[in-house]
Amino acid sequence: MLSDEKRINFGTFETEVLPDRIIDRILDLIKNRQLQPGDKLPPERELAEIMQVGRQTLRAALRALSAMDVIDIRRSSGAYITDLKPNTFIERLEFMFRMSESSIIELFEARSALEVTIIRLAASRITPAEFEQLQTHTNKMAEQLDSLTAFSESDLEFHRMLSQFSRNSILAQFAEVILKLGLETRHKTAETLEARQQATRDHQAIVAALATGDPDLAAKAMLAHMNTAKSNLEQLLSKTNSEGFGV
């Protein structure tokens, strides 16, 4: 329960409200750090009186917040603010994508747009030490051409490194979801030695473009890589005639 020293102004509503407005109010309190992870919300009856809303409306809002993993409703104990971690966001977003009816091509188009944005940021934000790390990793990939598993894992790590070097945590989280969703498909498109060799050349071109510090040049190299990957994907789909995320 919130202590006497930590009284939260939940505010009141003068007219009947939808649960969404209650959700927004509580999210604002969390955003402003008036509510912290581990804080217990007042009992339902008390909170409804404080906010001057119906208990049924409040209950609907609390259920929604629980589904969003914002609060943890414990039987016979109450509702507590959770510790919102990036992994929770990633897991929920991944689940939503898996449950959608989007096609592999739609997922790839989203990834392509995201990768180009990420590389533009990375071109101007990557440090010399990070560039050296990326270059070393790319050279390592060239030595893994004979192992599909090792190459696929290194390919995934290459793109994770780029998202990290973009210095944008939101883009990095979205990239992680999309990269994970496309794992099986990318593994299949890299089954031939020729495909792995081409991917290695593309990665080397991306690294060379990053060395110039020119975002446009880096974006051009990434787009070329994405176009090649899309061509491989379309060939795979024409053979399997499959749809879905391929995960």
Encoded tokens for 182: 């496309």
> Is CATH 1.20.58.390 the right assignment for the domain spanning 87-240?
no
Condensed to tens digits (0 to 9), the pLDDT of residues 126-185 reads 999 999 999 999 999 999 999 999 999 999 999 999 999 999 998 998 898 889 888 888
Q: If you average pLDDT over residues 193-205, what whole number do you get?
A: 97
- Name every residue whose Cβ is closer than 8 Å to that of residue 90 and which is 6 or more positions away in sequence: 173, 176, 177
- Token couple for 65: 């917040």
- For residue 142, the one-letter residue type is A
Q: Domain 19-81: give its CATH code.
A: 1.10.10.10
The sign of the CA dihedral 140, 142, 147, 149 is positive
Task: Say if 19-81 and 87-240 have the same CATH topology.
Answer: no
Q: Return the domain boundaries, the chain.
A: 19-81, 87-240
Nearest-angstrom CA–CA distance, 25 and 47: 12
Measure the CA–CA gap between 144 and 132, rounded to whole angstroms. 19
Q: Does this model's pTM top 0.75?
A: no
Residues 51 and 41: beta-carbon distance below 8 Å: no
Instruction: Kindly report, residue by residue over 20-56, the tens digit of the pLDDT.
Output: 889 999 999 998 899 999 999 999 999 999 999 999 9
Q: Name residue 121's amino acid.
A: L
Q: Tokens representing 72?
A: 């943890």
